[in-house]
Amino acid sequence: MRNKILHNKYILRFLWILVLAVIWQGIALSQVFNPASFPRIEKILYSLIHDAVKGDIIFQTLFSLGLIFKGLVFGLLIAIILSGLSMVSKVFEGFVETIIAVAHPLPGIALLPLVILWIGVGEGAIIFIIIHSVIWPLILNLLTGFRAIPKIYKEIGRNYELNTIGIIRYILVPAAFPHFITGLKIGWARAWRAVISAEMVFGAAGGAGGLGWFIFKKRVFMDTPGLFGGLIVIIFIGITIEDLFFDRLEKMTIRKWGMSI
């Protein structure tokens, strides 16, 4: 029974979260830090429940998730196109590698002044920042996956008289899928950072506000429990997506095919 608990990552995660919560509560009760900046857990939970009942944090979380979904979809499409063309043309591969070398080191927040000049401060600007944040790790991981495929796989495909599209669909994409999932995980995490940062700068985009705007308002009004409540929502969504989407996707594909990296 004990070994079963120790090997269950969900139980272990819950136990570690419980340990961290106890440590946090102990520090808060000791009043080593100002209670206004280091609130007790019950105050954080009360503020979170209050904001959820009002509907503010729910609506703004859904708004941020919508922006992330749009940015990920556009970024994924662009990454697949650029990666695919790079595998077809050496000249285009050099172009893509040059763009990655130039743009990948640039933080999205550093591009905000240009984005404001080009696009403005609306929803489109935030989506642009998200795309910039997710596209480069996606391309790098897809290219790594494509290049790691043994040449014999492609030769087998030609022996089965597969055309270029068939080789990409039945050989390249499945073989590179572990790298694709890794790039998607990194892109998902960077999308969260991008949307929160952009919303804090742009504020309520398009007359609405996301989770970043929610956290920013809590900081301005010195509502520290509410601020930590917003951070808890981000953490909860991240863990949920990791367990319910990425983990199950890996079980259905990568682990099933025996292709774990």
Query: Quick one: 140 and 11 in the same domain?
Result: no
Is the same domain home to 79 and 8? no
Answer yes or no: do 66 and 4 share one domain. Answer: no
pTM of this structure: 0.80
13 and 59 within one domain: no
For 15-70, what is each residue's pLDDT tens digit? 888 999 999 999 989 888 888 888 999 999 999 999 888 887 888 888 888 888 99
Q: Which domain holds residue 202?
A: 39-257
Residue 178 has a pLDDT of 79
Q: Are residues 100 and 195 in the same domain?
A: yes
Q: What is the DSSP string of 47-69?
A: HHHHHHHHTHHHHHHHHHHHHHH
pLDDT at site 45: 92
Count of domains for the chain:
2
The per-residue pLDDT for 19 is 92
Q: What is the largest CA-CA distance in the chain?
A: 72
Give the pLDDT of residue 7.
Answer: 60
* Residue 254, pLDDT score: 58
CB 38 within 8 Å of CB 28: yes
The C-alpha atoms of residue 199 and residue 52 are separated, in whole angstroms, by 20
Same domain, 27 and 105: no
pLDDT value at position 205? 53
One domain, residues 162 and 187: yes
Same domain? For 79 and 177 the reply is yes
Q: Do 43 and 62 sit in the same domain of this protein?
A: yes
Same-domain check for residues 34 and 117: no
Are 172 and 94 found together in one domain? yes
**pLDDT at position 31, please?**
84
Residues 33 and 111 in one domain: no
**Tokens at 217, concatenated:** 């308002």
Burial of 140 by CB count in 10 Å (0-12 exposed, 13-18 middle, 19+ buried)? buried
φ and ψ at residue 73, rounded to 5 degrees: -65, -50
Q: What is the CATH number of the domain that holds 190?
A: 1.10.3720.10
pLDDT of residue 258: 54
**Predicted confidence pLDDT, tens digits, the chain (261 residues):** 555 555 677 788 888 889 999 999 999 898 888 888 889 999 999 999 998 888 878 888 888 888 889 999 999 888 888 887 787 777 888 888 888 888 888 887 778 778 878 887 778 888 888 898 889 988 988 888 888 877 777 777 777 777 767 776 777 777 777 788 888 888 888 888 888 888 877 665 555 678 888 888 888 888 889 999 999 998 888 888 877 787 777 777 655 555 554
